Amino acid sequence: MEDLTAVAPAMVALLELTEDFAERYRQEKLRLNAADFSDQEHLALGLLVGSGGAPTELGEQVAARYREILVDDYQDTNEIQNAIFRAVSKNGQNIFTVGDVKQSIYRFRLADPTIFLGKYNRFKSWQEAADGEERKILLSCNSAPAGDFESTNFISPTFCLWRWGDGLRRGRGPPLRGGVLPGADGLPDRVPSHLCPPEGRGE
In-domain check, residue 185: no
Closest CA to 115 of 128, 101, 105, 103: 101
Cα 38–Cα 8–Cα 6 angle in degrees, nearest 5: 145
In-domain check, residue 165: no
Q: What is the pLDDT of residue 109?
A: 84
Q: Among positive and negative, which fits the CA dihedral 103, 106, 107, 111?
A: negative
Q: What is the pLDDT of residue 161?
A: 47
In-domain check, residue 160: no
Closest CA to 120 of 55, 40, 174, 181: 174
Q: What is the pLDDT of residue 98?
A: 93
Q: What is the pLDDT of residue 175?
A: 60
In-domain check, residue 78: yes
Closest CA to 99 of 110, 86, 109, 113: 113
- State the Cα torsion 91-94-98-101 to the nearest 10°: 20
Structural domain that includes position 66:
11-138
The model's pTM is 0.68
Q: What is the pLDDT along the chain (203 residues), one digit of tens a residue?
A: 788 888 999 999 999 999 999 999 999 999 999 999 999 999 999 999 998 889 999 999 999 999 999 999 999 999 999 999 999 999 889 999 999 887 888 888 889 989 998 999 999 998 899 988 899 988 765 555 555 556 666 666 555 544 444 444 544 456 656 555 555 555 555 656 677 777 765 54
Which of 91-104 are b and which e, b meaning 16 or more Cβ less than 10 Å from the residue's Cβ? eeeebebebbbbeb
In-domain check, residue 35: yes
In-domain check, residue 41: yes
CB 141 within 8 A of CB 195: no
The total domain count for the chain is 1
In-domain check, residue 111: yes
Angle between helical axes of 79-88 and 37-48 (0-180°, round to 10): 40
Q: What is the pLDDT of residue 104?
A: 83
Q: What is the pLDDT of residue 100?
A: 85
- Which stretch of DSSP H or E encloses residue 142? strand 141-142
CB 147 within 8 A of CB 178: yes
CATH of the domain at 95: 3.40.50.300
Q: What is the pLDDT of residue 2?
A: 81
Q: What is the pLDDT of residue 187?
A: 54
Q: What is the pLDDT of residue 167?
A: 45
- Residue 75 — φ and ψ, nearest 5°? -65, -15
Q: What is the pLDDT of residue 182?
A: 55
In-domain check, residue 20: yes
